[in-house]
Structure 1
């Protein structure tokens, strides 16, 4: 009886968490169905089509460049050993720690007309002005695509490298027996076998590109993400912004569907796992050539930008290390810690429910709760604002009817809104870490605990939780770092006179004064290194 009551309570809690987290999305869809014959139709007849085209072009460009960078590096490190290969296996993931808006500022500073690159070209070739030569405009779709690719190619590298490593040597041997050259083996055998992984990586890059707000805003590239921001704050139309948001969600749904189909097809290309790819050692000139290729990519995507930020932080430490840095750093710290703990607790509720109930229905709360991660920050901000505004106004109207004084905006005007948005977006990270840990706990342990007379609650407390310590710590750290870096939701939902390190840095980036927030910028980058180190250790422990 007690076990049944506990299970019923846990089931109710799990579904309650799922409903609360999916509520903003339902409100967003409902708002998008509201007629809007002015703003949205005006945008549709003027600039919206251009926004869609820019978005599609940017996504395709970033995918192509990311694949051109990530796939060769993945094949190189999956199949060959050379000086520095062990470092590059995880070192090439470091660009993930670099926020896109910082990369946008840095490369604009380097490549614009007054920057050091063009100044050097004019000095070497004796060019007098811009009319004497051609140099692409960094503040363009091309510039945005290059910058985003330098940040996002590690997704391609990580996913595709794993696919290359899992390919069987029998395919390569067959190619050699048929007299194929190394290039033919790569292009005709290894690459086709990795197509599902390529599709998954491309879908992930596409979703991250679609969700990016800061870099495209800095480059003045009009995409659907900036359209949501401008429509909401510029035109003051939440309904039109909701309609554009739903268009973005449809695109994300297509990317996710494409990824799922590719993942299902991957079973068709599975090889003999007992005969994995044998690593070939590259020596001499070939080895150093491979080293140079990997180092060059890492140099431009992480090392030089970090040196630039570190030098700036050192040079302007008196101005950058000010009271605002400590105040906003404290805001980011407390917000990130709070969100991390909440995500861990709520994630544990839905993950444990799935563990103790293996039915298909028990998997729904987990899937629903994880859906918010696919929502871009600007879209999520609108989705969160809608139900919270409804509750605020309803509560104040009720108090007025009862003859009481209204209490104001206790949800939309406080930290609750930004915290709620963070939980919706990042609880999927916590759920993923907890699920991964649970997969290592054999069901036989549960059976043994029950045979010893323990109910499910006792099994959870005395058996599962001690074994979930590593997964729980990983969940807290990953959510903490994601919360520290989040910009669009914080930018749109923060209360008055409240800043995080991310919003603080972005404002100075927008004003071309990053040096005044350089200490905050380097802090965000250093904080982003933690999940990369954790990811590397997790991968090594599985090998």
Structure 2
């Protein structure tokens, strides 16, 4: 049947209603590209006398500190993510099974909440320095030298400790898929464990490392809370301050376009690093290498190496939040507004996740039923939002949303004689739209990876029986691609829960989510008051992360591959 399906002219023609899927994909792509058009329109207006100030003082510093931050975070996430992935795959040591999933826990810890916690933990009168002074017998509060977390180095280490799971998950999947033949050949030639890792395993895993590092760097670019709290003036912070503090949305748009150029360069670098991805996948069907036994010293080193990033990226800030929240609740009770903020955060994240999953399914299926450049281009264009930090996306959405509201208002005035005002701008719908555009690439790429594993012969067989693409998708593709879609939806939900940059700039008036509550309290220095909201974000985020860890343990190589392809 496969041969007949491939040679039949009727089956090789696009299905009759495949054009509808393509048209839907093109419409979705145009909607996701609207922020880019909005940025160009705003930037073209010019920022007047502000632009010389931006080019002389703001852009050089923002560019230099952003590059420093990316280089540092890239180095830390690579070392920690690749190192821990290799240890849990290649060696046996106590707690190895526990560390396999526990190393994913920092995914539930937003970067701005980690900064929020460490600012209080490492304060001169905080628990860390107070304990050290007590142990050393120092009575002067300023008598102990301690590294300053409000610095570039502190920001790099903090972001690296929270973002390394992106590298760990994708790299561990590639290590699991590597054949034992190459590793055993290196060992028979006298190569030790370190040399085998550096000369064989590491080169084969470079595509997965490139994917993981690019994801971590995009999250670092999107960060606004941690960078601002720790005194690092990145592009994201510069965009926010130019818009809010200098009241120049045009200047913010100009900085955003410069930032997009940096993001595109980052994506191009990641694609270049993955140009030989096929090499890493040749050994999927081969026998996998078994973990090796270690002596007591080696086992202790593995345990410490795996426990340290979990402690820094999750356990320490989570313990602080739990203690601070308990003290706050014992003294003043649960903040009454917290329940509404939890409901709003969950509601917006769930709605955005559902819409993104549905649109991602449409994009991926359009690329399957109408194979060719237009459908693939629409899918790629719809993924541009993932490469746009939240502040850039928020600035870019101003013009399209205002234009839509003005158009509807004009039609209503002419037809009904009434004014509709602002329907989307400044509303919850604008925020959901931003979430969908920002994270649409995840379900689109995840479903595409799942559909790629379904033979086209099944589509051809269904078409010979007279089935339309919509019926085939409902009866065949959706059930088979459901695991990929579910994994992608979990990632979208976690990201929507943690999203701060776009939420700060697009939320309605007097509208607070858990993320904006934490940001406001940290900005005022009232860390204890924000601990309850911060802990709520972490606790809610733990459930999806636990499901991700469970999925990666049950079907480890396949799940890691879906995550790698998704963005």
- Tell me the TM-score normalized by structure 2: 0.88
Tell me the alpha carbon deviations over residues 115-154 of structure 1, each in whole angstroms, 9 at most, x when there is no partner.
Answer: 2222233333344547655322111111111111110111
When the two chains are superposed, the root-mean-square deviation of aligned CA atoms in Å is 2.6
Q: Pick the aligned partner of 1:387 from 400, 412, 419.
A: 400
* Alpha-carbon offset, residue 68 of structure 1: 2.9
Tell me what 1:165 maps to. Answer: 176
- For structure 1, which segment, 98-107 or 426-435, has the greater mean C-alpha deviation from structure 2 after superposition? 426-435
After TM superposition, give the deviation of residue 358 of structure 1 in Å.
1.8
**Relative to structure 2, which stretch is displaced further, 56-65 or 228-237?**
56-65
1:412 pairs with 2:452 = no
Higher relative contact order (CA 8 A, sep 6+): 2
User: 1:98 deviation in Å?
Assistant: 0.2
Report the 3-state secondary structure (helix = DSSP H, G, I; strand = E; otherwise coil) of the residue aligned with 2:134. Answer: helix
Match of 1:288 in 2: 300
1:346 aligns with 2:330: no
Which shows bigger deviation, 310-319 or 228-237?
A: 310-319
2:373 partner SS: coil
1:124-143 paired onto structure 2 within 5 Å: 124-127=135-138, 129=140, 132-143=143-154
Tell me which of 520, 525, 539 is aligned to 2:552.
539
Query: Normalized against structure 1, the TM-score is what?
Result: 0.92
Question: Distance in 1 between the 2:21 and 2:170 partners?
Answer: 36
Who is 2:3 aligned against?
A: none
Residue pair 2:260, 2:388 contacting (<8 A) in 1 also: yes
Cα deviation for residue 394 of structure 1 reads 4.6
Q: Residues 77 and 447 (structure 1 numbering): CA distance in 2 closer, same or farther, change over 3 Å?
A: same
Q: CA deviation at 1:363?
A: 1.3
Aligned residue runs from structure 1 range 321-336, under 5 A: 321-336=334-349
Q: Is 1:519 paired with 2:527?
A: no
What is residue 52 of structure 1 aligned with on the other side?
A: 63
How many Å separate the matches in 2 of 1:200 and 1:340?
23
What is the SS of the residue equivalent to 1:201?
A: helix
SS in 1 for 2:374: coil
Say which is worse superposed, 527-536 or 207-216, in terms of deviation: 527-536
Mapped to 2, the partners of 1:420 and 1:192 lie a distance apart of 40
Deviates more, 1:57-66 or 1:277-286: 277-286
For residues 196 and 474 of structure 1, what CA distance do their matches in structure 2 show?
21
Aligned to 1:314: 326
Instruction: Spell out, residue by residue over 1:129-188, the C-alpha distance to the aligned partner (whole angstroms, 9 max, x if none).
Output: 476553221111111111111101112222333333344434434433443333333334
Deviates more, 1:495-504 or 1:462-471: 462-471
Structure 1, unaligned runs of 5 or more: none
Relative distance call for 1:358 and 1:205 in structure 2 (3 A) is same
Q: Contact conserved, 1:313 with 1:320, CA < 8 A, in 2?
A: no
Does the 8 Å contact 1:112/1:137 carry over to 2? no
What is the alpha-carbon distance in structure 2 between the residues aligned to residue 464 and residue 66 of structure 1? 36
Residue 26 of structure 2 contacts residue 375 of structure 2 at CA under 8 Å; is this kept in 1?
no
Q: Say if 2:440 is the partner of 1:427.
A: yes
Q: Please say if residues 320 and 518 of structure 1, whose CA atoms lie closer than 8 Å, have aligned partners that are also in contact.
A: no
1:442-521 correspondence to structure 2 within 5 Å = 442-521=455-534
Question: Unmatched 5+ residue regions in structure 2?
Answer: 1-13, 557-567
Seen in structure 2, the aligned counterparts of structure 1 residues 465 and 169 have a Cα distance that, compared at 3 Å, is: closer
Q: Is 1:145 matched with 2:156?
A: yes
Helix, strand or coil for the counterpart of 1:135? coil
* More moved, 17-26 vs 448-457: 448-457
Q: CA deviation at 1:96?
A: 1.2
Supply the distance in 1 between the matched residues of 2:89 and 2:259 (Cα, whole angstroms): 35
Of residues 99, 117, 123, the one that matches 1:106 is 117
